[in-house]
Amino acid sequence: MIEIRNLHFSYRNFHALKGVSLRAEPGVYGLLGPNGAGKSTLMKSVVGMLPLQKGEILINGKSLTRMDRSEKRLLGYLPQHFDVMDFVTVERNLIYAAWAHGIDRNEAGKAISEILEITHLGGKANVLARSLSGGMRQRLGIACALVHRPRVALLDEPTVGLDPLQRAGIRNLLLELSRESVILISTHLVEDLAAVASRVLVMNSGLIAFDGTVDDLNALG
């Protein structure tokens, strides 16, 4: 599904990724690691927000650099501080996201009603985004990132600021989506991963320092 080979990235003279390799099939993958480890840089590289300097990124066997705009629909990304559009409805937010992901007008209605259902926001389609609770806003952000049903979704800290019950809601949602997609979530909370992640990657100083199951990680103490 996704394969990353020996990925390096430098911001001017700061070497932020120092040779990251990874292969992943559909499932939930956790990305842990201290601030500055390179998690966001890795995600931005995969979605093409940063240029590929050295290494390779393949989606379904095809190099990211050879993909045209329509093929990039295979990817979805929730940035770390994603702002929904507050003064329009939930549905409008999704219409915009669908358009931005290149879904044509005829397909958009169906895609939007499906993602509203999956993210349990169906009853909120016509309310202004500003009136949503924190948990619902977060689910709207995720819905916007996934409305086009990407095969590879990268979610940067999707549970920040949520209480344990809301985090459980997000976990269920990601688990549901991971049947057909690779879901890579960065988080500071191992609890976010325990029940759902098939694998956990721990980054440190631009490298993957650990790659294994949550149980393996816990066994390390």
For ligand ADP, the binding residues (CB under 6 A) are 11, 14, 16, 33, 35-41, 120, 133-136, 165-166, 169, 172-173
Name the residue nearer to ligand ADP (CB basis): 39 or 148: 39
DSSP state of 85: -
Name the residue nearer to ligand ADP (CB basis): 73 or 80: 80
Residue 125, number of CB atoms within 10 A of its CB: 15
Name the residue nearer to ligand ADP (CB basis): 112 or 140: 140
Work out how close the CB of 28 gets to ligand ADP at its nearest, in angstroms, rounded to a whole number.
14
Kindly write down the DSSP assignment for every residue of 51-62, as one continuous string.
Answer: ---EEEEEETTE
Name the residue nearer to ligand ADP (CB basis): 101 or 187: 187
Kindly write down the DSSP assignment for every residue of 154-195, as one continuous string.
Answer: EEESTTTT--HHHHHHHHHHHHHHTTTSEEEEE-S-THHHHT
Work out how close the CB of 61 gets to ligand ADP at its nearest, in angstroms, rounded to a whole number.
27
Pairing of the two strands 75-78 and 182-186: unpaired
DSSP state of 122: G
Work out how close the CB of 96 gets to ligand ADP at its nearest, in angstroms, rounded to a whole number.
21
**10 SS3 class:** strand
Name the residue nearer to ligand ADP (CB basis): 37 or 95: 37
Name the residue nearer to ligand ADP (CB basis): 41 or 182: 41
Q: Are 112 and 94 in contact (CB under 8 A)?
A: yes
Work out how close the CB of 24 gets to ligand ADP at its nearest, in angstroms, rounded to a whole number.
18
CA distance 146 to 64: 19
Work out how close the CB of 33 gets to ligand ADP at its nearest, in angstroms, rounded to a whole number.
5
Work out how close the CB of 125 gets to ligand ADP at its nearest, in angstroms, rounded to a whole number.
15
CA distance 141 to 139: 5
